[in-house]
Amino acid sequence: MNAELLAPAGSLECVKTALYFGADAVYLGGPALQLRAESAAFTYEDLETAAALVHAKGKRLYVTVNCFARNDEIRALGPYARRLKAIGADAVIVSDLGAVAEIKEQCPEMEIHISTQANAMNYRTVQVYKSLGASRVVLAREMTLAQIEELRGLIGPDMELETFVHGAMCMAYSGRCLLSSFLANRSGNRGECAQPCRWNYYLVEEKRRNMFLPVVEEDGATAVLSSADLKCISFLDRLEAAGVCSFKIEGRMKSPFYVATVVNAYRRYMDGASPLSLCEAELETASHRPYTTGFYFGEAKTDPNNDGRYRRTCDFIGAVLGDLGGGEYLVEMRNRFSVGDTLEILSPHSMGLSFPVEKIVGETGEEKATADLVQEHVRVLCPYPLAPGDLLRKRI
């Protein structure tokens, strides 16, 4: 497949991970208008580092500027776009119409991608954005495959189309949600979403305030508003045939383990390096909610067994830091593991390999039965070659 594989990053570690596992481009948020929590906002210094890392690999870097802007923020967009361009951003992802016009006027050399928040889902909308200088549109998540194919035919080949293929979906139309504003006074359209659609809810009758009834007949509360997670790996070829040039993975708030797992599975399948069944099994290992194909085949259908809760088949155990020779490797521990455990290797160079832990050596040279100090550097024997950047995991 020739489509771009676009990975999220909420930290420099995620940027490095995405590149190592085969992303063609990385998107992230800068200091302003980036529609995610402050923890996912890169400083100018980190943006410069990220740009250098990405360009050293011959890849591309996109910066999200996708909040709905206020008057004072519009006036600041010109200088901000020029600084992002100087740092090395290849494009900005924008949703606000005024922001699109201001950036293009003040920094005409900056490439503009229209965010999915703009909910573009017809050819006339795409044509208008093209007339404003946009080179790519991230289509609304509510579009079907047939609608995308029709749209491509109506706009011609010189406008890039991007779609989400994996990750969390919003319960509101194209992510334009007011639920967090109403329940938590935190606007999802300003990057402050408290994710109340993921909360667990009970039904309470007005006169029985202390009687909490489950919404469905099962133990525990139910996340009635929580949408399933998108997974499109099985029909990427159909998306590409419909005219999509970039496959976008959601997850700027996700861990490096999530980024590694998802990027690796999609990369290997797109390159024909691993069969679909094995890549789909990989996508079960990292934390996710029940999967769905979204709206691509019509109205999104919810699995009746979807409880809206997260599940995974593996724990992230550690990151490989270096080869010490003789089959011994330095590992930064992330979750507890012990001698006798079987660890699996997550690497772009192999898939499906595992090995038993025969010995753990701590930082002071002593042998340990268990590695239980988070981020401790330990030495582990492995019969297979490992490289810095490879990750280790354990079945739950």
- β pairing state of 377-381 and 354-356: unpaired
The structure's pTM equals: 0.89
Whether 92 and 43 map to the same domain: the answer is: yes
Helix (H, G, I), strand (E, B) or coil at 112: strand
Best CA proximity match to 91, nearest among 50, 55, 60, 115: 60
Domain boundary, last residue among 160, 188, 214: 214
Q: How many CB atoms lie within 10 A of CB 77?
A: 25
Whether 14 and 93 map to the same domain: the answer is: yes
Whether 158 and 271 map to the same domain: the answer is: yes
How far is the C-alpha of 240 from the C-alpha of 276, rounded, in Å?
A: 17
Whether 273 and 331 map to the same domain: the answer is: no
Domain boundary, last residue among 214, 236, 267: 214
Do the domain assignments include residue 15? yes
Do the domain assignments include residue 24? yes
Find out whether 48 and 34 touch, Cβ atoms under 8 Å.
Answer: no
Whether 18 and 88 map to the same domain: the answer is: yes
| pLDDT of the residue at 391 | 98
Q: For the chain, how many structural domains are there in total?
A: 3
Q: Is 271 left (phi over 0), alpha (psi -120 to 50) or beta?
A: alpha
Cα 68 to Cα 40, 211, 343, 379, distances in angstroms: 18, 41, 45, 49
Query: Angle between the 123-131 and 145-155 helix axes, to the nearest 10 degrees?
Result: 50
How far is the C-alpha of 65 from the C-alpha of 95, rounded, in Å?
A: 8
Maximum CA pair distance of the chain? 71
Do the domain assignments include residue 79? yes
Domain region containing 330: 314-395
Domain boundary, last residue among 189, 214, 239: 214
Whether 20 and 110 map to the same domain: the answer is: yes
Do the domain assignments include residue 12? yes
The Cβ-side half-sphere exposure at 281, using a 13 Å CA radius, reads 9
Do the domain assignments include residue 302? no
Find out whether 108 and 130 touch, Cβ atoms under 8 Å.
Answer: no
Residue count of the chain, please give it. 396
- Give pLDDT tens digits for 320-361: 999 999 999 999 999 999 999 999 999 999 999 999 999 999
Do the domain assignments include residue 164? yes
| pLDDT of the residue at 32 | 84
| pLDDT of the residue at 104 | 97
For 7, residues 6+ apart whose C-beta sits below 8 A from its C-beta are 14, 18, 21, 23, 25, 26, 27, 249, 259, 262, 263
Whether 190 and 262 map to the same domain: the answer is: no
Do the domain assignments include residue 357? yes
Q: Is 276 left (phi over 0), alpha (psi -120 to 50) or beta?
A: alpha
Helix (H, G, I), strand (E, B) or coil at 223: coil
Whether 200 and 133 map to the same domain: the answer is: no
Whether 341 and 275 map to the same domain: the answer is: no
| pLDDT of the residue at 170 | 75
CATH code of residue 325: 2.40.30.10
Whether 336 and 378 map to the same domain: the answer is: yes
Do the domain assignments include residue 222? no
Whether 241 and 318 map to the same domain: the answer is: no
Q: Is 327 left (phi over 0), alpha (psi -120 to 50) or beta?
A: left
CATH code of residue 14: 3.20.20.60
How far is the C-alpha of 62 from the C-alpha of 299, rounded, in Å?
A: 30
Whether 275 and 333 map to the same domain: the answer is: no
pLDDT tens digits for the chain (396 residues)?
999 999 999 999 999 999 999 999 999 999 988 666 666 789 999 999 999 999 999 999 999 998 888 898 999 999 999 999 999 999 999 999 999 999 999 999 999 999 998 999 999 999 999 999 999 999 999 999 999 999 999 999 999 999 999 998 876 666 667 677 767 777 766 667 777 777 777 778 778 778 776 665 445 555 556 678 999 999 999 999 999 999 999 999 899 999 999 999 999 999 999 999 999 999 999 999 889 999 999 877 656 566 667 899 999 999 999 999 999 999 999 999 999 999 999 999 999 999 999 999 999 999 999 999 999 999 999 999 999 999 999 999
Find out whether 110 and 136 touch, Cβ atoms under 8 Å.
Answer: no
| pLDDT of the residue at 217 | 44
